[in-house]
Structure 1
Amino acid sequence: MIQQRAALVIGNANYTGQNTKKLRNPVNDATAIARKLKKYGFGLTSVSDGSFVQMRTALSTFQGTIQPGGVALVFFAGHGIQIDGENFLFACDTDAGGENQAKYSSLSLNQVIDVLDRSKADTKIIILDACRENPFEAAWHRSGANRGLASVFAPRGTIIAYATSPGHIAADGLSSNGVYTGALLQHIDVPDTPIETVFKRVRNTVAADTNGKQITWEHTSLAGDFYFNTSAMSFVTTYASSSLADSLFVLDPGKTSHQIIRGLKSVDWYTQNPAMDRLTPTFANTVKDETLFVLGRNIYQAAHGGARSAEAYIRNFLGKTSGMKPEKIRPLLDGILYEIFFDSRGELREAIKGNMFSDAFELEKFPQFKDSFEFIAETLIGAHGDFYRVPGKGHMLSASVVTKAEKRGRLVTGVFVDTVNVFSLSDPEYAVEEGEPTPARSVSQDAFEEELAKELIVPKGLLQVRYTPALQPIDPIRYPYGWGVSKK
């Protein structure tokens, strides 16, 4: 079963309360961490430069998103301090005029821990890039013994990670991120790495960056392993790691099947097309499943690059595989589908290989290929892919496209999915002043919907598009340059 993941991310930098000082990095840190967590399947509750009321409300909202058996994570960047041995995370409007005022206008770490402890999540994670400095020590006449955050008990199934060891302060950092979060961002992407190992690597990086002055710290009572980033190799057992990460697949020039793969890898149509013609049903029946999977990957790779024989093979997959044993078709199609989403290291692509995406998924309507589409859907879920609808599940997606009339057609101004406008300017160089015409290209309705399906990562046959106002068949669509549909 795939664990549901929920995160509360808070970054406070613009402090306005008495005795507090503005910070450089926390909002940047929270934004960067939120982006990573979203990539790895976390649902997000986010606060930027939040007040005490906003932080408390966000904690309550986050509590409602935690799923039984799931993962719950809290990240905080900003001012934090211990008062009488209890830790408090400062809101931007925290009154730091005195200890009592601060207690009752900031978020208690104990309260955060209690929310996680009372939840039924299996894994609870708290990351604190706090106590970057202590602007309260002189004002409150505090001793150095009360600096930084205090050590706390980690309930079962919990890991609490600090930017520095208890009683010490952390560096804010000179770049766009704090020293601690900057190090975490360096190491969080390494696939199949237990969280404890991630934090050990962070500790080494922070120590090196601060010349040993800052030593990170964790309290943990985790009972099982947790990985931010999992490659397909960590959970797919159907195929070997050398096939899932096909950069590890060693070609044997003496084998015909490997010669075909080498030809498809050539990125030369005059080599790819003849290689494709050698893959007959009779020959395919003699090839091992692992090799057929890699063949499928390279057929899609060649088709994506425009090799006509490979394109024709996918578009006429039923005919081309007629005469192949069903148990041999399965790994070939598995490989084709896998190549769309996973790179040569077995990791999810930042952007899918989409040129033949809808063509490959046309095969989903045939019952004999059900196992292959279940394979890719489960693999994408296991890798925490973030999709509007998981490819392979056969779920429809409805998109409402908003346009406005122009002399040369209808300009796309919005794309609404699940009530949210996901259409935005992705390249600032194409920004225009208000009142200026928007540079755009004219495309047919069919071509626009093909591109929209690719951006939404939904097979065209499963995408329902409605236009507001309704389009006439002759209306050309104007697609603005530098704009696009965002990932989920």
Structure 2
Amino acid sequence: MAALVLGNADYPGNDKLNNPVNDALDVSAKLKSYDFEVILGTDCSNSNMEKKLKEFATLLKTHEVGLFFFAGHGMQIDGSNYLLAIDTDCSSEIDAKHSSLSLDKVVEVMAKSKASTKIIVLDACRNNPWERAWHRDISMRGLASVYAPKGTIIGFATSPGELAADGSGRNGTYTEALLQHIDTKDCPVEKMFKRVRNTVAGATKGKQTTWEHTSLAGEFYFNLGIDKIISEYDETALADGLFGLDTSKPSHKIIEGLKSYNWYVQNPALLKLNADSVKRMGVNNLFVLGRNIYQAACGSSGAAEVFIGDFVSRTAQFEISKRKALLDGMLFEVFFDSTGNLRSKIKGEYFDEVFDLQKIPALKASFDFIADALDAAGADFIELPGRGHELDVTVSTKKIKAGYLVEAIFIGGKDLLQASESEWDDLDGIPSHSKTVIEQLNGTLSRELVVPQRLLKVTYAPAAVGENDVLIIPRGWSIRRA
């Protein structure tokens, strides 16, 4: 998914606006959280807006979804709409038309792209300060109606003849409502815009009515629930906080034991999972059972730890589909919480042990499952877990008296080492630091990058760094996303 997000506020003289730059920054951040590749522009000149539109056109060649957002001054001239740059010449309508970004051009670029879904959002009907100088009729306020080509939805902050509120807080009224509703789970984009309309009407006491033109052929969701992404398992298995226990069922009885947080209950409960009992279990129950086995192992249940380590032999006699459901659940528990949402931090205690199973060809389908689930959910990883790709990392160090100071961690040619500023207070000329060795640092890198250690290829520079040498690294360090 690709997006071009523009926000212009620093117009000359008294025509400055308060919110559009904030609008663009916040919309950009939100879209990135939904896995959009975003081109961002703030306080753009006309030439800069044209340049970014060309970049957007190139980006659309490789994306199925395209989104354009603009916040700032916009106006209609001779029935066409124009989005004003901060250097638009408003001496006359002709000058303004030829020094602004034409909305028709934006629509045409998107219409001729390969994107099947095209979304245009315009918070661009603020008060036109040049109306009086141009002797314009009040009917020319706002933006003109626009034809929406196939597969396109165009959202306007106001109906024709109305003005958009610039907002009293951080965002414009329309963008604030958009940001409020874009996170609504399983809400088609058309329905989201209707919710935005209600919120804007309430905020402006009916003075501002948003509207849309649409010719979308299918449905598009910003925030699609995991149960809509994955069809193999029921919602109550994917969001297992909804899972109701019926202890008359063998699988539920084992799950109940694993949920006890009592090793003396967990361990014998898991011993009941065998080839005979599995024959009477459905895939949804086995999926939830897999989740709870991993959870119990993270809670130091010895039987669960052993089960993960001996998964291949312990499940060798299970039906293929049931064995897969069990491993799918274990993998799912690493990345998704009890509501079916991505965890902010993976449950990684047995990450390496579970992902070692990827070496077994018969288990490949489970790793394809988790990779597809993470991809569809918009997970942000440098390498997507489950694909089995190796990741090359170079740790750059400098020899100092106390050992080797880690100065950079390069991935894909970029230094991704990050530490909070508060951690960089000098201590005898060296930033606040902790000491480690290669084996420990490699393990930490594996967890930070969510890449199994067997797939993580770490090189140290200079090559003289040895396994027992002391490595000094900033406290609180992390790996930022490229």
When the two structures are superposed, what TM-score results if normalisation uses the length of structure 2? Answer: 0.92
Corresponding residue number in structure 1 for 2:4: 8
User: Is 271-280 or 297-306 further displaced after alignment?
Assistant: 271-280
Corresponding residue number in structure 1 for 2:407: 413
**2:314 maps to which of 295, 320, 325:** 320
Quick check: 2:426–2:432 contact (8 Å CA) kept in 1? no
Q: Deviations for 1:84-129, whole angstroms, at most 9, x for unmatched residues?
A: 2221112233233433332222211111011011112111110112
Quick check: 2:84–2:100 contact (8 Å CA) kept in 1? yes
1:455 and 2:448 are equivalent in the alignment: yes
Q: Deviations for 1:404-449, whole angstroms, at most 9, x for unmatched residues?
A: 4454443433333223333334x45435489964222223322222
Q: Percent identity, please.
A: 49
Distance (whole Å) between structure 2 residues aligned to residue 99 and residue 436 of structure 1: 62
**1:304 maps to which of 292, 298, 305:** 298
* 2:23 maps to amino acid: D
Q: Deviations for 1:261-308, whole angstroms, at most 9, x for unmatched residues?
A: 123334455544444344345433432221111011112223334444
Corresponding residue number in structure 1 for 2:65: 71
CA pair 135-43 structure 1, distance change in 2 beyond 3 A: same
Match of 1:65, SS state, is helix
CA pair 245-56 structure 1, distance change in 2 beyond 3 A: same
Corresponding residue number in structure 1 for 2:167: 173
Corresponding residue number in structure 2 for 1:102: 96
Give the gaps of 5 or more residues in structure 1: none
CA pair 135-342 structure 1, distance change in 2 beyond 3 A: same
Name the count of aligned residue pairs. 481
Quick check: 2:166–2:173 contact (8 Å CA) kept in 1? yes
CA pair 445-93 structure 1, distance change in 2 beyond 3 A: farther
**2:431 maps to which of 433, 438, 454:** 438
Corresponding residue number in structure 1 for 2:201: 207
* 1:451 maps to amino acid: T
**2:43 maps to which of 31, 44, 49:** 49
* 1:91 maps to amino acid: A
Give the gaps of 5 or more residues in structure 2: none
Distance (whole Å) between structure 2 residues aligned to residue 298 and residue 310 of structure 1: 9
Distance (whole Å) between structure 1 residues aligned to residue 428 and residue 175 of structure 2: 41
* 2:446 maps to amino acid: A
* 2:2 maps to amino acid: A
CA pair 202-351 structure 1, distance change in 2 beyond 3 A: farther
* 1:11 maps to amino acid: G
Instruction: Return the offset for 1:309.
Output: 3.3
Instruction: Return the offset for 1:70.
Output: 1.0
> Which aligned pairs between 1:155-234 and structure 2 lie closer than 5 A?
155-234=149-228
> Which aligned pairs between 1:131-170 and structure 2 lie closer than 5 A?
131-170=125-164
Instruction: Return the offset for 1:455.
Output: 2.3
Quick check: 1:13–1:25 contact (8 Å CA) kept in 2? yes
Quick check: 1:282–1:323 contact (8 Å CA) kept in 2? no
> Which aligned pairs between 1:447-486 and structure 2 lie closer than 5 A?
447-470=440-463, 471-486=465-480
Match of 2:59, SS state, is coil
Instruction: Return the offset for 1:225.
Output: 0.9
Quick check: 1:455–1:486 contact (8 Å CA) kept in 2? no
* 1:10 maps to amino acid: L
* 1:410 maps to amino acid: Y
Quick check: 2:424–2:432 contact (8 Å CA) kept in 1? no
Distance (whole Å) between structure 2 residues aligned to residue 271 and residue 171 of structure 1: 61
Quick check: 2:250–2:281 contact (8 Å CA) kept in 1? no
**1:250 maps to which of 237, 244, 256:** 244
CA pair 169-250 structure 1, distance change in 2 beyond 3 A: same
